[in-house]
Amino acid sequence: RGGGAQAWTYSYSTTPNRRWHEARKWCHQHLTNMVTIQTPEETDFINNLLPFNQKYYWIGIHKVDGVWTREGNNETVLEDVQNWAPKEPDNIVGQDCVEIYIKRDKDTAKWNNEKCQSKKGTVCYSASCTQDSCSAHADCVETVGNYTCQCHPGFHGPRCEEEQGSHYCFHPYGSNRFNSSCRFHCELGFRLLGSPQLLCQTSGHWNNPVPLCQVVQCNSLEAPPHASVQCQDPLGVYSYGSICTVQCEEGFDLIGTNMTQCSSQGSWSHTLPVCQAKRCPALNSTTYGSLFCFDPHGEFSFGSQCTSTCEEGFLLNGTADTVCTSLGTWSADIPHCLAKRCPTLNSPPHGSFSCYDPHGEFNFGSRCTSTCEEGFLLNGTANTDCTSVGKWSRDVPRCLAKRCPTLNSPPHGSSSCSAPHGEFSFGSRCTSACEEGFVLSGTADTECTSVGTWSTDTPRCLAKKCPSLNSPAHGSSSCSDPHGEFSFGSRCTSTCEEGFVLNGTADTECTSLGTWSTETPHCLGKRKTRPCPLLAEAPQHGRMNCSHPFSPFSLNSSCGFECNEGFWLRGTPTMTCRNSGHWSQDLPTCQRESSSLPLSMNCSHPLGHFSFGSQCLFTCTGGFSLNGTDVLLCSSAGFWSDSLPNCTEATPVGAAMLMNSGAGAASVLVPLLLIGLGFLALFILTRSKKRGESFSNDGVQLHTYTCTML
């Protein structure tokens, strides 16, 4: 890919990215050379022309013998034209080639030295200067998209081919032939270099080289002190026709002519002027003061700086320093010296002072004496003097209120105080309060009096008392009393004698209200019990989980049962060991589920399986009709709200006609069968209510969880 601008053409490549030496070779094969970035204008042009490349682009500058050099002409890159990014170039070994940040968010168009083996984009150019661009009397200078011919002195024209002179020739035997002669003459302001006359010899050569017209040179100019010189040089620096103008720096006046011109004789038309510093009005020192001046360009002249100081005991009133400005005026007036003054004194709170002022109120020599009101003590020295430096010899003392002894909060209490004159000082008022669970014994408020004592003693915080606690019959109580017997925070634990069991909560605590957290428990006599038969394993196709409050399979041991998926529990899901040494129920079994049974049940258990609040909904399938209540609820007493329903087979119309027409046996057996099923369901439900068990309808699967009171 490539882009161009008039005669100076650029080309770039990013596919692929190349090493620096590969990029230089590619440029030589396709165009002329790598871009070397010679002017700021070229930098801006390149940055606008090239697209962004994440790896950026190589330029034709690399380090040769420790010096940054342009590729192609081996010119040294001068420091004032180097365009490095901040903190670049660094001195890392091997980073001897230069890349340019094109369209980078930060430091765009800046240079960075990199390892020459890194791969980056390639950018080349073909120059507009050729061998025939300018004459031999000029230098071809590249510009962005063009070039110019910079003429040597004595030549002019677009290609610098025209000389600043003329010649006249005589040709007796024809133009530029034997015995032809030419005479040369230079224009005003130019002098002839070489022989003024040439003769064509028998050999066919001129007897001397062709002369040149060289512009007349004037001596170089050096700017006068505090001035600058600006010149216009149409034919060369300090040459015939050059016009130079002198301008003085700010604050200096020009004495003489400000312009001079180089004549055809090589001399300047005027001598350079002088720049003289502007003068300010003379200054006089103030009364009781002195004046010290620094005059770099003459007394009271531009740049002079004068400082005023006062005698001891006097203070400068105004600006100490003044400077002679470029306008010939002083930057500030000379200040006055006034007697030094100390800061104004204010009477201390609850006090007053009287002063002696020989040189004016609160001036040098003034002496002030402080006194305090009754009931306050002076803290510091009573007398203070205004010194010659305008400061008081001592601070004004303070009048402090008399102090009472430090007041500590009562144990298990706190104190809040108002202190208008300082903590625990005269006028302080403190109020005591007790923590929760404690009551105040004494006066809550006390005040620090004018004699430095408290009006009342500090009160105490006593723990609230609970009623005396007696040990239970056939038992004992042990208490911890951090704040006194049977007081707030006391904790008591009751235990029973051997052979008795605690009925109630063992631990109680005296609360912040002065009451016990629980009632005293009772000790009830134990009854001897026998262990129940050991349950070795769970029912087949089921799981068992047992808890033993005393010992394994003894009094109050409880075991729960569940069936595996695909089986339902026949029997009670929980068994408890009784005092008699027998289990409360028989061991249940797990029966395989059957999907063809007509009665189905759908239950919800908000508080636990078949517990208080459980609700079961019954429906019949396969052409059977429901006989009984379709919803049963488990009450708070642990019983179901109604009897278990059953499913009866619906009798078709045709079958009824057959039964009426003579099928006597069927008409008798079907009602008897239904009556039998009803009695069987009633028996099961009655048994379930008495034993607190769940129910099942003769083989119809019902998840058997006990309906118990929670």
pLDDT in tens, 255-268: 999 999 999 899 99
Residue 525 is classified by DSSP as E
Residue 196 lies in a domain: no
Task: Give the residue with greater pLDDT, 611 vs 285.
Answer: 285
User: Is 134 a member of any domain?
Assistant: no
Q: Give the mean model confidence (pLDDT) for residues 229-246.
A: 91
Among residues 255, 277, 299, the one where a domain terminates is 277
What does the pLDDT average to over 417-436?
89
Is the predicted pLDDT of residue 555 greater than 80, yes or no?
no
Please, what is the average pLDDT of the chain?
82
Confidence of residue 227 (pLDDT cuts 50, 70, 90): very high
- Whichever domain contains 95, its CATH number is 3.10.100.10
**How confident is the model over 596-620, as a mean pLDDT?**
80
Which residue did the predictor score with more confidence, 254 or 592? 254
Residue 700 has pLDDT above 70, yes or no: no
Please compute the mean of the pLDDT values over residues 72-96 and round it to a whole number.
Answer: 88
The band of 686, judged by pLDDT with boundaries at 50, 70 and 90, is: very low
The answer to the question of residue 495 being in a domain is yes
Q: Which of 483-492, 514-523, 599-608 has the lowest mean pLDDT?
A: 599-608
Residue 268, pLDDT score: 94
Structural domain of 381: 351-401
Examine the domain organization and report whether 494 and 550 are in the same domain. no
pLDDT of residue 304: 94
CATH number at residue 609: 2.10.70.10
pLDDT tens per residue across span 305-354: 999 998 888 888 899 999 999 999 999 999 998 888 899 999 888 899 89
Residue 193 lies in a domain: no
Q: Where are the beta strands (DSSP E) in 278-408?
A: 289-294, 305-310, 314-317, 321-323, 336-339, 351-356, 367-372, 376-379, 383-385, 398-401
- pLDDT exceeds 90 at position 626: no
pLDDT of residue 623: 67
Both 296 and 387 in one domain: the answer is no
162-171, 172-181, 487-496, 513-522, range with the lowest pLDDT: 162-171
Instruction: Please give the radius of gyration of the chain, using alpha carbons only, rounded to the nearest integer.
Output: 61
- For residues 24 and 87, state if they share a domain: yes
pLDDT of residue 434: 92
Considering the domain architecture, whether residues 480 and 547 belong to the same structural domain is answered as: no
At residue 31, the pLDDT reads: 62
In the structure encoding, which two tokens stand for residue 637, read together? 């007493």
* 84 & 21 share domain: yes
Last residue in a domain, options 64, 92, 127: 127
CA 614/CA 633 separation, integer angstroms: 6
Residues 573 and 612 in one domain: no
Q: Would residue 470 count as lying in a domain?
A: no
pLDDT for res 525: 66
Do residue 314 and residue 391 come from a single domain? no
Q: Which of helix, strand or coil describes residue 580?
A: coil
Question: Do residues 314 and 359 both lie within one domain?
Answer: no
Tell me the range of 212-216, 373-377, 489-493, 591-595 where mean pLDDT is highest: 489-493
Instruction: Determine which helix (DSSP H) or strand (DSSP E) holds 496, and give its type and residue range.
Output: strand 491-496
| 361 and 455 inside one domain | no
Span 383-410, average pLDDT = 90
Query: Quick check: bond before 573 cis, omega within 30?
Result: no
Half-sphere exposure of 618 (CA within 13 A, CB side): 26
Q: Which of 167-176, 263-272, 528-537 has the lowest mean pLDDT?
A: 528-537
**Whether residue 481 sits in one domain with residue 383:** no
* Contacts with 429 (C-beta within 8 Å, 6 or more apart), sequence order: 417, 418, 445, 446, 447, 448
In the predicted structure, residue 685 carries a pLDDT above the cut 50: no
How much of the chain, in percent, has pLDDT values that exceed 90? 35
294 plus 317 within the same structural domain:
yes
**pLDDT for 152:** 62
In this structure, are residues 324 and 312 in contact, taking their beta carbons and an 8 Å threshold? Answer: no
- Averaging pLDDT over each range in 118-122, 234-238, 386-390, 681-685, which range is the top one? 118-122
Residue 197 lies in a domain: no
Distance CA 651, CA 661 (A): 15
Lowest mean pLDDT among 221-235, 578-592, 653-667: 653-667
Highest mean pLDDT among 130-134, 277-281, 582-586: 277-281
What does the DSSP 8-state code read for residue 26?
H
Query: What three-state secondary structure class fits 22?
Result: helix
Residue 702 in domain: no
Structural domains counted in the chain: 8
Tell whether 659 is covered by a domain.
no
Helix (H) or strand (E) holding 681: helix 664-691
What is the structure's pLDDT at 131?
67
Residue 124: pLDDT band (50, 70, 90) is confident
Which of 1-5, 571-575, 585-589 is predicted least confidently? 1-5
Tell me the per-residue pLDDT of 20-51, one tens digit each, with 9 for 90 and over. Answer: 999 999 988 876 788 888 888 888 888 998 99
pLDDT digits (tens, 9 = 90+) for 169-190: 888 888 778 888 989 888 888 8
In this prediction, residue 677 carries a pLDDT of 40
Confidence band, pLDDT 50/70/90 cuts, at residue 474? confident
423 and 517 share one domain: no
